[in-house]
Structure 1
């Protein structure tokens, strides 16, 4: 029998309904700012923008992986990817998606449930240009999720693209791959989770009540769910 790890009682601050804004936007941005500041001060929240992303393939099989949330506007959180990757193919089969930001050291998490929509080129292209040169070359190098014979093959392909588009220090020195883009999540639910003692955690969920952005009070109602 596998040894059970030590149990930890979650001693978080929890969530009080009276402190919640009527729409989730300011709660999301406030908690994210807290996580980034915690990492800067304590170093125990690595990659505060790390987003666990779940998709469903054409057979109904779920897949989950961690991406970086590099888009966050009132129309939803988002991420960028190779459109021919496992997640890209899944989203072609089904736009249903779920994602979560988890900050274990703070006993906090935010969960998003909804559907994915492609980000337009006018959003994707400036973001791609803002990436470090090496990351832009890697976007061309990696046929994401496909098998590769060896690490050497990957490095050789990288070197080929690096020679084609050398680092000139310009944002347009590497073109955007035609198979690369981004998605935003049009949220139907946004859950704030706060860890509490005795596993009596707080779960406050914004449930969509009408069309509108994450900042539109009339678009959301709040309910408490049992832990």
Structure 2
């Protein structure tokens, strides 16, 4: 039996959304929705689709985890030498997408990424489990390796080098995304979805409006 993807349907009807329902500040509205997703125990509520652009103009995307909303910015961590790290260094404009199907919600964030202060990366790095800290040293992220055994060997070597205290690698740390556009999507019946977009004006104030679905 062939899989008929065009026949897959899901009608959304849980809640409505209008600009009047939304808080004046877009990041505060995001935090409200994120807390509701966590409370509802949705699967991986902090997972976000991070899209970057390479120097050839081609988009590149992957799932990473949000690790903080600090000073109005969205923070995640990675290897600065990885493909996404290099792309972010060359072109800091990114988009982030959260999808919480259990709540029939999506959030799209656009903005500019900058590296966080070294002490911020240090604090988060030392909060990670020991094995994860070793992994940051062992993995030359995005580079080709001959086998999984090579990676395991590197992890063991760094484990012997750092049996207790694992310093943060200089090539590993955080990025913070300062948003200038955030869109909230609430699924509705008959594909007449509710979309509310916030844009940052020249004075640094959020302006919100409704978009057609």
Q: TM-score, normalised by structure 2?
A: 0.95
The answer for the alignment partner of 2:38 in structure 1 is: 36
Residues 211 and 175 (structure 1 numbering): CA distance in 2 closer, same or farther, change over 3 Å? farther
- The CA distance in 2 between the partners of 1:27 and 1:58, in whole Å, is 33
**1:71–1:77 contact (8 Å) kept in structure 2:** yes
Shift of 1:210: 3.3
**Residue equivalent to 2:49:** 52
- Between 143-152 and 17-26, the greater mean CA deviation after superposition: 17-26
Q: Please give the alpha-carbon distance, in whole angstroms, between the structure 2 residues aligned to 1:101 and 1:156.
A: 36
Q: CA RMSD in A?
A: 1.3
Judge conservation of contact 1:54–1:99 (CA < 8 Å) in 2.
yes
Deviation, 1:66, is 0.4
Aligned residues: 211
Q: How does 1:150-161 map to 2 (within 5 A)?
A: 150-161=147-158
Q: Distance in 2 between matches of 1:14 and 1:144?
A: 42
Aligned residue among 170, 181, 193 for 1:178: 170
The answer as to whether partners of 2:98 and 2:108 remain within 8 angstroms in 1 is yes
Query: In the TM superposition, what is the alpha-carbon distance from 1:96 to its structure 2 partner?
Result: 1.0
Deviation per CA, 1:97-125, whole angstroms, max 9, x where unpaired? Answer: 00011101111111110111111112111
Structure 2 CA distance, aligned partners of 1:155 and 1:226? 51
Q: In 2, distance between residues paired with 1:23 and 1:127?
A: 26
2:8 alignment counterpart: 6
Superposition map of 1:35-184 within 5 A: 35-39=37-41, 45-166=42-163, 168=164, 173-184=165-176
1:12 Cα deviation from its structure 2 partner? 2.8
Which structure 1 segments of 5+ residues have no match?
Answer: 40-44, 213-218
The Cα shift of 1:178 comes to 0.8
Instruction: Note if contact 1:210-1:220 (Cα within 8 Å) is conserved in structure 2.
Output: no
Structure 1 contact 11–195 (Cα < 8 Å) conserved: yes
Whole-angstrom CA distance in 1 between matches of 2:210 and 2:13: 19
CA-CA distance at 1:190 after TM superposition: 0.8
